[in-house]
Chain A
Amino acid sequence: MTESQKPIDPEKEKRKIKSDKRMKEIMTEYYVEAKTPREQRGKKIAWITSGGPVEPLICMDIIPVYPENYGAMIGASKMGVDLCEKSEEMGYSRDLCSYARADIASATVNGGPIGGLPEPDMLICCNNICGTVLKWYEVQARYFKVPLFILDTPICHTEFTKEMRQYVVKQIKEYIAFLEDVCGKPFDYDRMDEVGALSFRGQELWQAILDTTMHKPAPITCFDAFFHLAMIVTLRGTRTVVDYYEMLLAEMKERIAAGIGMIPDEKHRLLWDNLPIWYKMRWLSDKFASHNACLVADTYTSGWTSSMKYLDPDDFLGSLAEGYTRIFLNAGTDIMADNIMGMAEKYDAVGVVFHSNRSCKPYSLGQYDIQRIVQEKMGLPTLMIEADMVDERSFSESQIDTRIDAFIEML
Chain B
Amino acid sequence: MITAGIDVGSISTKAAIVKDHVVLATKVIQTGYNAQNAGRKVFDEIQAETGISSSQIQAVVATGYGRKSVTFADKAVTEITCHAVGAHYLNPEIRSIIDIGGQDSKAIIIDEKGRVKDFAMNDKCAAGTGRFLEVMARALEVDLDAFGEMSLTADKTSAISSLCTVFAESEVISLISKGEKRENIIAGIHASIGARVMAMGNRIGLKAPVMMTGGVAMNIGVVKALEEKLNSSLVVSKSAQVTGAIGAALIAETVKGGNNE
A residues touching B (Cβ–Cβ < 8 Å)?
A: 368, 375, 381-382, 384, 386, 394, 396, 398-399, 402-403, 405-406, 409-410
Contacts and interface: CB of A to CB of B under 8 A. Distances in A.
B80 interface: yes
A402 B116 contact: no
Nearest to B64: A402
Given A386-B123, A386-B124, A409 B116 contact: yes
A286 B124 CA distance: 22
8 contacts: A396-B124, A398-B65, A399-B104, A402-B65, A402-B121, A403-B121, A406-B81, A406-B119
B36 interface: no
Nearest to B108: A406
B123 A409 contact: no
Contacts of A402: 65, 78-80, 121
Contact of B118 (A381, A386, A398): A381
Interface of B: 65, 76-81, 104, 115-121, 123-124, 203
B65 A410 contact: no
A399 to B, nearest CB: 6
A90 B61 CA distance: 50
A375 B77 contact: no
A382 B78 CA distance: 17
Closest 4 CB pairs of A and B: A406-B80, A406-B78, A410-B116, A396-B124
A368 B118 contact: no
Contacts of A382: 118
Given A368-B203, A399-B124, A375 B78 contact: no
A405 B123 CA distance: 16
A360 to B, nearest CB: 16
A93 to B, nearest CB: 17
Contacts of B124: 386, 394, 396, 399
A386 B104 CA distance: 14
Contacts of A381: 117-118
Chain A interface main SS type: helix
B35 to A, nearest CB: 11
A382 B109 CA distance: 13
A406 B63 CA distance: 11
Contacts of A375: 118
Contacts of B203: 368
Contacts, number: 41
Given A381-B117, A386-B124, A402-B65, 17 more contacts: A381-B118, A382-B118, A384-B120, A386-B123, A394-B124, A399-B121, A402-B79, A403-B121, A405-B77, A406-B78, A406-B79, A406-B80, A406-B81, A406-B119, A410-B81, A410-B115, A410-B118
Nearest to B124: A396
A409 B38 CA distance: 25
B102 to A, nearest CB: 13
Nearest to A395: B124
Contacts of A409: 77-78, 80-81, 116
A410 B119 contact: yes
Nearest to B120: A384
Nearest to A398: B65
A166 to B, nearest CB: 42
Contact of A410 (B76, B117, B120, B123): B117
Nearest to A368: B203
A402 B115 CA distance: 17
A409 B123 CA distance: 20
Contacts of B116: 406, 409-410
A405 B65 contact: no
A406 B64 CA distance: 11
Nearest to A403: B121
Contacts of B118: 375, 381-382, 410
A398 B123 CA distance: 12
A396 B120 CA distance: 15
A398 B124 CA distance: 10
A384 B120 CA distance: 8
Contacts of A399: 104, 121, 124
Contacts of A384: 120
B84 to A, nearest CB: 9
A375 B78 CA distance: 22
A187 B203 CA distance: 54
A409 B79 CA distance: 11
B215 to A, nearest CB: 17
B243 to A, nearest CB: 15
Contacts of A406: 78-81, 116, 119
A60 to B, nearest CB: 46
A405 B78 contact: yes
A86 B237 CA distance: 51
A409 B115 CA distance: 9
A381 B204 CA distance: 11
Contacts of B123: 386
Best-buried of B76, B77, B80, B120 by chain A (most CB within 10 Å): B80
A381 to B, nearest CB: 7
A398 B77 CA distance: 14
A84 to B, nearest CB: 16
Nearest to A379: B117
A251 B115 CA distance: 41
Contacts of A405: 76-78
A324 B63 CA distance: 49
A370 to B, nearest CB: 13
A375 B118 CA distance: 10
A410 B81 CA distance: 8
A382 B203 CA distance: 13
Contacts of A403: 121
A255 B123 CA distance: 40
Nearest to A394: B124
Contacts of B65: 398, 402
A288 to B, nearest CB: 15
Contacts of B81: 406, 409-410
